[in-house]
Amino acid sequence: GAGVSQSPSNKVTEKGKDVELRCDPISGHTALYWYRQSLGQGLEFLIYFQGNSAPDKSGLPSDRFSAERTGGSVSTLTIQRTQQEDSAVYLCASSAGLGGVDTQYFGPGTRLTVL
C-alpha cells in the first residue's frame, strides 16, 4: 500500500497476557518510529529505528516493552505481561530518513485495551 499500515486496529487483552503490534512502513523508508498516545498525555516517543543503526530505545517505559524491525522493513512492538496502564493507542510512523525536513508519515494506530 501507499501508506503506513498497522495491525490489528483494535486489541483487547487480559492483564498479564503478552501482545504483539505490527507496523508496515512505507516502502523504502529507512526510519521507523513507535509512539504511544494516552488520553490527555499527548504523544509519547517509545523507540526509533534508523537503517542498520542500533535503535534508540530511550522512550520504552519498562523492560516489558520491546520492538524489532526485521529486514529493515516490518516492525513488531511486543508488550509482555500487559498492565491496565498500557491501555493506549500505539502509533507507528516512518520517514525517508534522508535528512532535511524528513516528514514522518503515521499509520492509523492500534488501540490496545487491557482489562
Point out which residues bind other proteins (CB under 8 A).
Answer: 4, 31, 33, 35, 40-43, 45, 48, 50, 56, 91, 93, 95, 97, 99, 101-109
Q: Which residues pair with 56 in a beta bridge?
A: 48
Provide the terminal-to-terminal Cα distance of the chain, rounded to the nearest Å. Answer: 33
Shortest Cβ distance from residue 10 to other proteins (Å)?
A: 11
CB of 42 to other proteins, least distance (A): 3
| Residue number, 14 or 103, with CB nearest to other proteins | 103
**Of 42 and 71, which CB lies nearer to other proteins in the complex structure?**
42
Shortest distance (Å) from residue 57 CB to other proteins: 12
Rounded to a whole number of angstroms, the minimum distance from the CB of residue 38 to other proteins is: 11
Cα–Cα distance list, 96 to 16, 24, 46, 55, 59 (Å): 36, 14, 19, 16, 21
Nearest residue (CB) to other proteins, 17 versus 57: 57
CB 77 within 8 A of CB 23: yes
Separation CA 111–CA 12 (nearest Å): 8
Q: Which three cell numbers stand for residue 5?
A: 499500515
